Amino acid sequence: MKLNKAIAVYFSPTGNSRKCALATAGVIGRNIEEIDLTKEGSFDEDMKFDINDFIVFAAPVYGGRLFKGFAQMLHNMNGNYAKCIGIVTFGNRDYDDALLEMKNLLIDSHFIPLGFGAVVGRHTYGHIQVDRPNNADLENCRVLAKGLLDKIEKGVFTIPEVKGNFPYKDGGNGGSFYPQTDDKCKMCGLCAESCPQGAISFDDFKTIDTEKCISCFRCIRICPFGAKNVTTKEYLDFAEMFSKKLSEPKEDELFV
Ligand SMILES: Cc1cc2nc3c(=O)[nH]c(=O)nc-3n(C[C@H](O)[C@H](O)[C@H](O)COP(=O)(O)O)c2cc1C
Ligand code: SF4
Ligand code: SF4
């Protein structure tokens, strides 16, 4: 069968899932269409997929689940039976039920998921696997894509089993470490523009609505001047403890 084009669809506040989506989609087609669902308001209800498109979905694990906002977007899509790969990236703790949740959502939204990956990426908090996804992780993404192309070539359209339990564990919410802004802030507004939750005030860029903030740390990573950070003792103690606890590298897992 002939595949039309490769589309990378991702929610990726700190960029790990985007890297994995692009590495995977790159094997399938040269001209990759990117649908970045990270920015607030980027979801388009009328998004259309063709049965001959090949889609790569990628998103982070939040508390062993998909982030609720992204799960809702998947729920609202109509895949028109396009074939796809589902990838979750996790910060070297565990992906628990997130991949199973992604698989079930993709099937319910009329996609045909032929392969799945759980790939380690730098954890949002502390200093955990800071160079991942590295070349070996991205190579695993490519291996996954090749496995899929092989399946399609052979006319094998089985949907693989993945690790995870249903009912799912509680999770999918954000964290509760809210960034502060110091005097290095130049008021450029980049952080407010890119916050997935619209939680940063466009009036002063220093005020964060803690009801909306999910502690994704996108604003911290994106600020060119290093003006946003979490410096509370509570966070620093947690980050130190967590970084020690998760210092042993985990392996990626592929399901084809
Ligand atoms: C609120 C929150 C919860 C998280 N929960 C988990 C988790 O349960 N297991 C894990 O291994 N990593 C967890 N992480 C780390 C992210 O899954 C990981 O860093 C991911 O690769 C980030 O993807 P992105 O760069 O595409 O945003 C969490 C991160 C955040 C912000
Ligand atoms: S990105 Fe940084 S410098 Fe720009 S407004 Fe936000 S905190 Fe200030
Ligand atoms: S304000 Fe909160 S939700 Fe917005 S980018 Fe920063 S950490 Fe993420």
Residue 223 banded pLDDT, cuts 50, 70, 90: very high
Instruction: Indicate whether 244 belongs to any domain.
Output: no
Question: In this predicted structure, which of 34-43, 86-95, 221-230, 234-243 has the lowest mean pLDDT?
Answer: 34-43
Asked whether residue 110 falls in the same domain as residue 50, the answer is yes
Q: Whose CA is nearest to atom 8 of ligand 3?
A: 216
Asked whether residue 131 falls in the same domain as residue 162, the answer is yes
Instruction: Indicate whether 47 belongs to any domain.
Output: yes
Does the CB atom of residue 124 touch ligand 1 within 6 A?
yes
Counting atoms of ligand 3 from 1, which one is nearest the CA of 215? 7
CA distance 112 to 157: 8
Asked whether residue 60 falls in the same domain as residue 136, the answer is yes
pLDDT at 30: 77
Cα angle for residues 18, 19, 22 (degrees, 5° grid): 85
Asked whether residue 185 falls in the same domain as residue 156, the answer is no
Q: What is the pLDDT of residues 154-197, one digit of tens each?
A: 999 999 999 999 999 999 999 999 999 999 999 999 999 999 99
Asked whether residue 187 falls in the same domain as residue 162, the answer is no
Asked whether residue 115 falls in the same domain as residue 33, the answer is yes
Q: Determine the distance separating the centroid of ligand 1 and the alpha carbon of 44, expressed in angstroms.
A: 25
Instruction: Indicate whether 98 belongs to any domain.
Output: yes
**Given a cut of 80, is residue 4 above it in pLDDT?**
no
CATH code of residue 195: 3.30.70.20
* Closest ligand to the CA of 198: 3
**Given a cut of 90, is residue 124 above it in pLDDT?**
yes
4 Cβ contact list (under 8 Å, min separation 6) = 50, 52, 53, 54
pLDDT at 212: 97
**Given a cut of 80, is residue 3 above it in pLDDT?**
no
Q: Which of 14, 56, 61 to mutate to test the pocket of ligand 1 (most atoms within 8 A of CB)?
A: 61
**Given a cut of 90, is residue 29 above it in pLDDT?**
no
Residue 129 banded pLDDT, cuts 50, 70, 90: very high
CATH code of residue 69: 3.40.50.360
Of all residues in the chain, the percent with pLDDT exceeding 70 is 99
**Given a cut of 70, is residue 142 above it in pLDDT?**
yes
Q: Determine the distance separating the centroid of ligand 2 and the alpha carbon of 188, expressed in angstroms.
A: 5
Instruction: Indicate whether 241 belongs to any domain.
Output: no
Instruction: Indicate whether 238 belongs to any domain.
Output: no
Instruction: Indicate whether 52 belongs to any domain.
Output: yes
The mean of the pLDDT values for the chain is 96
**Interior/surface letters 214-245, b for 16+ CB within 10 angstroms, e for the rest:** bbbbbbbebbeeebbbbeeeebeebbeebbee
Neighbours of 158 (CB within 10 A): 9
The residue type at 209: D
**Given a cut of 90, is residue 200 above it in pLDDT?**
yes
pLDDT at 66: 98
* Closest ligand to the CA of 132: 1
Counting atoms of ligand 1 from 1, which one is nearest the CA of 58? 26
Q: Domain residues for 189?
A: 180-231
Asked whether residue 143 falls in the same domain as residue 223, the answer is no
Torsion angle of the four alpha carbons 219, 225, 227, 233, in this order, in degrees rounded to the nearest 10: 90
Q: Among positive and negative, which fits the CA dihedral 49, 55, 60, 66?
A: positive
Question: In this predicted structure, which of 1-15, 76-90, 122-136 has the lowest mean pLDDT?
Answer: 1-15
- Please give the tally of structural domains in the chain: 2
Q: How much is the average pLDDT of 126-141?
A: 98
**Given a cut of 70, is residue 1 above it in pLDDT?**
no
